[in-house]
A and B are shown apart, each in its own frame.
Chain A
Amino acid sequence: MAKAQPNEQVLQGTLDLLILKTLSLAPMHGWGLTQRIEQLSKDALQVGQGSIYPALVRLEHKGWIDVEWRTTENNRQAKYYSLTTAGRRALGQEVASWNRFVGAVTLVLSAEA
């Protein structure tokens, strides 16, 4: 197989983090989000297309993202999601805690006998 095996199982907390980060680059609709995440991870991460929407609803309820109906470039109605100020703050915290987590795991894994 030429392509790397896509990691179907994206941890839920991780999915939220990915959505927040991606939205921090530009407001986007749901389908666009899935494409962008795959593209950014060089196809290593594949987001379950059906599972992105519940995550968006949760984030909206937390007040981290805003929703707006807009017209796409090919003139279609779509729901665009964008980061709120609270969301931007949350993203910073999530990234920091993710880095701590990764650092800790790396420390353990790189331990020598």
Chain B
Amino acid sequence: MFAFLRRTREQLTRSRVAADQDIEFRFHLEMETEKNLRLGMSPDEATRAAVLAFGSKERFRDETHDARGFAFFDNLIRDTRHAARRLRRSPGFSLGAIITLGIGLGASAGIGAIVYGVLVRDLPYQDPDRLVRVTLHTPGLPGTSDLHSDVTYAHFATGTRSFVGLSAYWTLDAMTLTIGDAAERVSTGFVTPGTFALLGVLPIVGHRFAPGDTAWVESSPVLISEGLWERRLSRDPNIVGKTLQLNRGARKIVGVLPRSFDFPAPGIQVWYPTRIGFERPSLAERYLGVIGRLRPGVTTADAQLELNTLLPGLSTQYPNISADVMRRAAPRVSVQSLKAAVIAPVRAQLMLLGGMVLVVLVVATCNVVNLFLLRAERASKEVAIATSLGATRFAIAQRFGVEGVLLGLASLLIAAPLAALLLLTKLGFSVREIPRLHELAFSWEMAAMIAAAAVVIGAGVGLTALVRTGDYSREQLVRIASRATSSPGWRRAQQALVATQVAMALALVITAGLLGRSFSNLRKAELGFAPQGLTMFEVALPFGRRYGGYADMVAFHTQVIDALRAQPGVTGVGAVTRVPLAAVGGPDLRYKLQAVDLPGAVTVFERASLATSEYFDVMGIPITRGRSFASGDMRGSPGIVLSEALALKLFNSSDVVGRRVHYMNDRGRKLLFQVIGVAGDVPNTRIEDGPNPVVYFPQLRDGDGLPPDSLPIPVGAREVQYVVRSAVPPSAETIRRLVRAADASVPAIGLRTVSSLVDAATARVRLTLLLLGVSGAAALLLGIVGVYSVASYAAAQREREFGVRLALGAAPRGVARLVLREGAVIAAFGITAGLGIAWAGGRLLTALLYRVSPASVAEFAGGVAVISLVMVLAALVPARRASRTDPAVVLRGE
């Protein structure tokens, strides 16, 4: 190694080395000449004798040159120069290989980096391997999730010995941050104070929460995100100790968390400390996520076992949880590595994506190998002559290897920008759809890895050409030199390559077909509302004197609604807490509801929303029973509208008008409501998830004239989304002007069409479909080129045979059939393999499919039909050419 470095250094300072050598040479001659003079020679004689004694100066140069190992570099440079010249001489081949390799390499590097970064890389926390997520499953209780209730968390946290610590958290989407006069909606996270220490994360400014911190006191501490700090507080270095107006209260900032930190969910801007105790001993009120750090040496299985043994303690220690409930609920704890829990929702999709680009890379490489084989075939005469003249196998390998490496390096011109672009755009996905996406960036390590891959693949591809040049005896060489023919071995190799391409193309075509149908199903899915002609925007009212209560807020909204309705072309305006598919991220706050006068009624936690009386009509959501809100609905036991799914969940029936429902607030107080109508189902954040149960509370003008302090509605009107139905969408300027007219300090944000929400909700599938479509088409195209080139090459090889056959009276049709059969056999092999791949890949796809079976016969049959047709067409051209062979011309050539 040392010697190699020294050689390389000398190589880099070659001119200096040469100059030194000249001085040394001259010194030597002078000394020799002086010696000769001392021996009594004449000056001329002395010089001549010195030169004679030294020998040829050129030999001296060459020999020291070789001794320094310059020959290796010289040969490499010469080979590179020759290879570059050869590649320039066949631009078609070179460009084809460079583009194919570049796209294959760039796509797989870019997407590979995304897949690696999300699925494989460690979570950005301290010692992440020991972090786990703890979930609680109660298959016997309806309407609950895998989250924890206060008591289950507190019970485990105090009882366990497997963990260094357990942390609980939940998120709250709709907090209003008021700075000056401007209000905005922020996502917040509530975490037990020890969470940051558990994860091993330090704030970039300030400090973490102290053990006893809680949000339920005056000016409690909060941590804020670096993004919020930068955007709203101009990176104030003295931010610690200042206060922030969140909802109604002032909160003290104790620190700023780094941008990279995204626990419990991406996009959180404010963290509150929370204390979880034994105050609410229920198995049903489940809203807490729980993570833990395992003690050294404890496995997830150990921890899971231990927590499960703690379960029976729930009913013996807390009287509110009866043994009967425990039996019915059949609770079970599961412990899973945190990383696995984080990536679980996207694992299938990313694996598919990764598999897909690998397929494209394989197809691309196959094609370049094929190009190289054809090229080697053409060069075989040249190689045979070189070999018979004594060129070593190594020298020939070097020639092809260098060509391959040059092509590989050239393909970087396409691959590197493509990979960078893919990483930069992240395929159009956001961190809401794919966790950890914001942690990714194009790095130098990645660039180096792409370059290394390019060199390795290039060299590998180039060297496969050696297979073609093979080991020949002298006699064979002479024969090859005089007339190029091909050996059956290499033709089989080429056929196998093309069959591989056909297989990959078929698999991609079938997968694209499955996703295509899934996408179309998704677009046709019953949305439950009519998005056409609808525009939406949202406002958040600041906390403060002006918007103290429901009536003030509703008065503002009423003013905006009236102004909008007066606009020309506007046919309806509604307001609601959240428009379907307009999720801003994070789970919703759930409300605790129970049917009244129903024996054995269960408590459910579901989403709640305010809605104006026109909302359903404007959105096109049908009222299937009863009616929408009307004046007077807030008096007595106020009216509510249930979605069909919620009615079924609460009452097992949708005929529920006139029935009564209890809403239970945090303090355990029950409020009574009466069902006045049932509305059609709409999805919440994803169409795939189907109908989402929701209860609508009335948002009536001026609060139905009730005094502000006696308002029975548990949902606030501070953040409201508006929907406007109109022939022409109102301009952003109009909307801003109307909202400003109601209150100059309130901004209207997020103006967009409701159709765009539907587009966004199908974007995931659409994008995957697009990628699959593009790569499927690429693979198909490359497959066509492969089949065509092999068939036509085979046909050209057998030209003499065809000539003889035709001369002996064979029908041209029969000759064409021979060529077609060649293509058909390859295609058949490829199709069989492709069906297998598609069938296996379909299992990976299940998570992405919507109302399509991964083994759908229609898509498989269609894919086979398309590929067969295309392959036959590709073989048809050479077949026709073969059938038109002129026997006279061919036989004369013998």
Contacts and interface: CB of A to CB of B under 8 A. Distances in A.
B66 interface: yes
Interface string A45-60: 0001111011101100
A15 to B, nearest CB: 12
Interface stretch (A17-25, A71-79, A95-103): A71-79
A63 interface: yes
A58 B63 CA distance: 10
Nearest to B20: A79
B429 interface: no
A79 B68 contact: no
Given A49-B32, A63-B2, A79 B64 contact: no
Nearest to B50: A49
Interface string A83-106: 000000000000000000000000
Interface residues of B, number: 26
B139 to A, nearest CB: 74
Contact of A48 (B32, B35, B55): B55
Interface in B28-46: 28, 30-32, 35
| Chain A interface bracket (under 10, 10 to 19, 20 to 34, 35 or more) | 20 to 34
Contacts of B7: 61
Contact of B63 (A29, A32, A35, A53): A53
Contacts of B66: 54
A27 interface: no
Nearest to A29: B27
Of listed B35, B56, B68, residue having the most chain A CB within 10 A: B68
Contacts of A54: 60, 63-64, 66-67
Contacts of B28: 30-31, 49
A49 B24 contact: no
Which has the most chain A C-beta neighbours within 10 Å: B55, B56, B64?
A: B64
Interface string B62-97: 011011110000000000000000000000000000
B27 A50 contact: no
Nearest to B25: A53
A54 B7 CA distance: 14
Contact of A78 (B2, B3, B27, B68): B27
Contacts of A53: 21, 24, 60, 63-64
Contact of B64 (A35, A49, A57, A76): A57
B892 interface: no
Nearest to A32: B31
Contacts of A58: 67
Interface string B51-62: 001111001100
A50 B32 contact: no
Contacts of B55: 48-51
A31 B63 contact: no
A86 to B, nearest CB: 11
B20 A51 contact: no
Contacts of B808: none
Greatest chain B CB density within 10 A among A49, A51, A63 is at A49
Given A53-B64, A54-B67, A61-B67, A31 B20 contact: no
Nearest to A79: B24
Interface in B845-876: none
A76 B34 CA distance: 13
Nearest to B35: A35
A49 B67 contact: no
B53 A49 contact: yes
A62 B68 CA distance: 11
B830 to A, nearest CB: 54
Nearest to B24: A79
B6 interface: yes
B566 interface: no
B24 A61 contact: no
B210 interface: no
A76 B21 CA distance: 15
A78 B20 CA distance: 10
B389 interface: no
A50 B24 contact: no
A32 B7 CA distance: 26
7 contacts: A50-B55, A50-B56, A50-B59, A53-B24, A61-B68, A76-B27, A77-B27
Please give me the 9 A-B residue pairs with the lowest Cβ-Cβ distance, nearest first.
Answer: A50-B55, A54-B63, A57-B67, A31-B31, A54-B67, A49-B54, A50-B60, A31-B28, A54-B64
Given A49-B28, A50-B56, A79-B27, 12 more contacts: A30-B24, A30-B28, A31-B27, A31-B32, A49-B54, A51-B63, A53-B24, A53-B64, A54-B67, A61-B3, A61-B68, A63-B2
